[in-house]
Chain A
Amino acid sequence: EVHLVESGGGLAQPGGSLRLSCAASGFSFSSYGMNWVRQAPGKGLEWLSFLSTSSGTTYYADSVKGRFTISGDSGKESLYLQMNSLRAEDTAVYYCARVVYGGNSWSRYYYMDVWGKGTTVTVSS
């Protein structure tokens, strides 16, 4: 069975750092892209970052560019999110999700077919 399990959340001070992990199982980690998505309390879903595990290509939302870094370890089948310069507005539940993508040059599809249960990050002094 396919599983994603996030860990590493907790309380951080403004300006501080945290490293989130996402352990994948039940599928070939290097055959899929991976996303980090967060949800602030009472708010909607916000995409943060993508990693192509095969090419190493990364994308970031403007809200975290320069502060967060996504990475992966195919040997450990794990995804990471290094979060620096944390702000109060980074308080949220953070999900990792498996990305399915494909199509052709004029019609591409991208969606997330497996999600973890999330890990909670609270940024407060």
Chain B
Amino acid sequence: SYELTQSPSVSVSPGQTASINCTGDKLGGRFAAWYQQRPGQSPLLVIYQDIRRPSGIPARFSGSNSGNTATLTISGTQAIDEADYYCQVWDISNWVFGGGTKLTVL
């Protein structure tokens, strides 16, 4: 079965750029999505089809996907961006999530 790997935690200072990686075999050949989950809330789609932002998601959120790594980048990180972030792909009748990355804004 297909697997996605994420670092458990990433720290960033306010105003700096945060990069959250998701790795999987030939991941660049699949479309990745990213979800933000703040404490006590349900997940929120922030990136889909590798690079697209849903309506209402700030432009500081961007995505890329190439080779074996998909990356969620948050530019000018704000305190409200502190959350867990999950990558997700589809693999022949299965939805696969990464283990999640806790973003701490120090």
Contact = CB atoms under 8 A, between A and B. Distances in A.
Interface residues of A, number: 25
Interface residues of B, number: 24
A37 B26 CA distance: 25
Nearest to A45: B97
Interface string A100-121: 1101000111111101111000
B80 to A, nearest CB: 18
B33 A112 contact: yes
Interface in A79-113: 95, 97, 100-101, 103, 107-113
A108 B96 CA distance: 14
A50 B48 CA distance: 18
A108 B91 CA distance: 10
Interface of A: 35, 37, 44-47, 50, 59, 61, 95, 97, 100-101, 103, 107-113, 115-118
